[in-house]
Chains A and B, each alone.
Chain A
């Protein structure tokens, strides 16, 4: 636990700093009572927005995000392996190759299916 103590302290201090900065602007900034509707409108190049901004998003973002989570978790596995490779030797490499083989098979399958083609996914 002691290993993580500095990180925890830094987290507390950094959060404190952010709160302080936000507080400062509230304390020192002018507070204008006469606020009109237009001033608080979301900015859209000076025009009144048509339709909501928080809306349903294209599904391809979710698809890519799911793919990413899959592959990113697998990248995490590389770290302990990388630390220990010199002890594991060729056997370690071989098992990693099998792991990567499965990983890349999936990657190339997605690639060929066009799941990575950003523009084609519109159709």
Chain B
């Protein structure tokens, strides 16, 4: 039984039956993707995903394995394609915002910000300073939210299961803030073109203060559980290395790029929403391995807390929405006595505001990297074309480079470390 001869792969091995809808690859396509050794049956082709516990959703990786060593790792995406970009073309600029929540659903505010920033740039809207500062606070909380899910799942992937639940516990504090400001715990749609939906409630400040008080202590606990754990280092140091040149060539951004030593952060390079008013560092790594990506993100927690503290201290009073009535809906009490306000209200909620002809690109630094929105307006109230530059997609691309020659167990660490959200990859 154990003396099997190698079974060569051939067309028969892949024969597609009519009722069999799962096989989506032809033998010709396969031949181009895998090494010749796979065709002789010497190496094993194995699917990891879409239904797999550690592919963070429905990522499919076609693995070519020699024993447990990865010869080739071919990502196959599209299992969570929702057509968000196309759908957005049929919506007014305001109505497209809930769609952006659903791309990278772990960092909805960042997506809101990128889209609204693009709209503001296209239409030319000035955002009040208070709204800008509140946006910064929320964006940094969102970064922490995103990083918490990353840390939890990454640790869970490597078998440290408790960290996952601790991270979910901490994330709860941030979701409470989302709920307080927007009424929704995940799909916030809180940032709107021209500012914010409404000013934050008083409880917001208590909730943020709770995060500022509790979180640093919890961060020390994580460091104790993971950073200082030799078993954790064993699993992460030197795994999934990528050089700075390769990372740039593949379009990696965010902590994955910074771990290679490149100091690129949209918040510093192209400041938006008054990020240049605040003092913070950009943590970088040196080796570009799983551990450096981990360290970068862990340090970003501290930097986010630092930014939030500054923004809270210097938060100016004033409106949180632009006074331009062509974009921002008028307050309810104005409608009662102002004819013009009534018309604005009616126009905004039916037709929406019009954006001029033109094309803009606006990027924010989300938790995962550069989240950009390319917006093409055609003079109507709906965009001609919307494209999201999803950081998860770009960071996922070089997975073959990172995983080749490593073990199956390392692949799990690599997927965890690049922090993908499939909603973001497939859009």
Please tell me if the beta carbons of B67 and A60 are within 8 angstroms of each other in the complex.
Answer: yes
In the bound assembly, the distance between CA atoms of A44 and B46 in angstroms comes to: 8
**Number of A interface residues in the complex (CB < 8 A):** 20
Taking CB atoms, residues of chain A closer than 8 Å to B30 are 50
Taking CB atoms, residues of chain B closer than 8 Å to A56 are 4-6, 41-42
Is B274 an interface residue, CB under 8 A from the partner?
no
Taking CB atoms, residues of chain A closer than 8 Å to B214 are none
Please tell me if the beta carbons of A54 and B44 are within 8 angstroms of each other in the complex.
Answer: no
Q: Using CB atoms, name the residue of chain A closest to B3.
A: A56
Q: Among B49-57, B139-147, B417-425, which stretch is in contact with chain A?
A: B49-57
Please tell me if the beta carbons of A47 and B41 are within 8 angstroms of each other in the complex.
Answer: no
Is A122 an interface residue, CB under 8 A from the partner?
yes
- Quick one: which of A45, A52, A60 contacts B47, CB cutoff 8 A? A45
Assuming the contacts A45-B52, A50-B14, asked whether A55 and B9 have C-beta atoms less than 8 A apart, the reply is no
Assuming the contacts A51-B41, A55-B41, A56-B4, asked whether A45 and B48 have C-beta atoms less than 8 A apart, the reply is yes
Taking CB atoms, residues of chain A closer than 8 Å to B19 are 37
Taking CB atoms, residues of chain B closer than 8 Å to A89 are none
Is B279 an interface residue, CB under 8 A from the partner?
no
With most chain B CB atoms within 10 A of its CB, the pick from A45, A46, A49, A58 is A45
- Quick one: which of A44, A51, A119 contacts B9, CB cutoff 8 A? A51
Q: Using CB atoms, name the residue of chain B closest to A49.
A: B47
Assuming the contacts A48-B23, A60-B67, asked whether A55 and B44 have C-beta atoms less than 8 A apart, the reply is yes
A41-69: which residues lie under 8 A (CB-CB) from chain B? Answer: 44-52, 54-58, 60-61
Q: A47-B23, A57-B67, A122-B66 are in contact. List 17 more A-B contacts (CB 8 A).
A: A38-B20, A38-B22, A45-B49, A45-B50, A45-B51, A46-B50, A50-B13, A50-B30, A50-B47, A51-B9, A51-B41, A55-B6, A55-B7, A58-B66, A60-B67, A61-B67, A122-B69
Q: Which residues of A contact B (CB under 8 A)?
A: 37-38, 44-52, 54-58, 60-61, 119, 122
A-B CB proximity, top 3 nearest:
A46-B51, A58-B67, A47-B47
Q: Which residues of B contact A (CB under 8 A)?
A: 2, 4-7, 9, 13-14, 19-20, 22-23, 25, 30, 38, 41-42, 44-52, 55, 60, 62, 66-67, 69, 407
